[in-house]
Amino acid sequence: MNVPEEDLENIAYKNTEEQTQNQNRTQIQKRKIQHQRFQNISSKQAETNLKNEDIGEFYFRPSYKGTDHLTLTWKFYDENIVHIDILETMKAIGANIGAQLKIGEEVYDNLQEIVERYIVPCNRLLREVTQHQKFIKCSNYEELKKAVETEKAQDQQRIPYHFAILPKYPQYVILCYIPKKDIQREFIKVKPRGYFFHHQYHYPFQNMINWYKQNFREREYQRYLRKAQSPQPLSRADVAKAAAA
């Protein structure tokens, strides 16, 4: 199963953290971190706090993985919460935090650099999406599907498409369209470098839309579409299989 490691982390971490805490196997290890958005809170408390805060707000907090990790909990969109693992490296004995911080393969010198180079660019990219005329706000896939199908029914010659953000797909924008009869659903990940779609970065958002319109009939595009997998939440058994793959 080809699941990106960072997505697997986002899917798997919460159940693992809550399970271990409930079984009293581990407790939050309080950290002395100097940053205005750091708090010694659990994932549940971070999510509760963010419900009352604006889209794009976030917390840095301790990680259940230990004192060489932190977690970024980020309100990507309404009801769409992202949890990102931060690995601390080059950590001197007695230091409160590592001299270098890693998200995936990207290296940062401190937490504020993560804010400026990761969160701020992603929030800006997300605003482009939510302000686009083809974006619709909905709470589940059925609402998105119905909107596209309704437009198709009004004019069978059109290829209607819409974008949405759903709670069950952290950090993803969903593209839904109907070329002929069958509805298609694709996933676009919002990352600091741009919109990650079909294994390449696009920017700005309209350029990505133009690329999609120009290429979706091409053989290569269709081949990718047949192989692409949904980043939907996995069962614990699937997470274990993906981790071993």
Q: Which pLDDT belongs to residue 230? A: 81
Reported confidence tier of residue 231, pLDDT bands at 50, 70, 90: confident
Reported confidence tier of residue 242, pLDDT bands at 50, 70, 90: very low
Which are the contacts of 3, defined by CB distance < 8 A and separation ≥ 6?
Answer: 11, 229, 231, 234, 242, 245
Q: What number is the average pLDDT over the span 229-242?
A: 53
Residue 19 has pLDDT above 60, yes or no: no
Reported confidence tier of residue 29, pLDDT bands at 50, 70, 90: confident
**Alpha carbon distance 187, 140 (integer Å):** 15
Q: Which pLDDT belongs to residue 36? A: 96
Residue ranges and CATH numbers for the domains of the chain are 5-130 (3.30.505.10), 141-237 (3.30.505.10)
Report the amino acid identity of residue 195: Y
Q: pLDDT tens for residues 42-101?
A: 999 999 999 999 999 999 999 999 999 999 999 999 999 999 999 999 999 999 999 999
Q: Residue 171's closest CA among 3, 13, 2, 11?
A: 11
Q: pLDDT tens for residues 179-225?
A: 998 999 999 999 999 999 999 999 999 999 999 999 999 999 999 99
Residue 9 has pLDDT above 90, yes or no: no
Q: Which pLDDT belongs to residue 6? A: 66
E strand segments, 132-180 = 161-164, 172-177
Give the per-residue SS3 of 16-45.
HHHHHHHCCCCCCCCCCCCCCCECCCCHHH
Which is more confident, 238 or 218? 218
Q: What is the mean pLDDT of the chain?
A: 88
Q: What number is the average pLDDT over the span 224-242?
A: 63
**Alpha carbon distance 127, 76 (integer Å):** 11
Full-model pTM: 0.86
Report the amino acid identity of residue 61: R
Which is more confident, 118 or 2? 118
Reported confidence tier of residue 24, pLDDT bands at 50, 70, 90: very low
Which is more confident, 234 or 126? 126
Q: Which pLDDT belongs to residue 23? A: 39
Q: pLDDT tens for residues 132-151?
A: 999 999 999 999 999 999 99
Helices (H) and strands (E) in the chain, counts: 8, 10
**Alpha carbon distance 191, 46 (integer Å):** 22
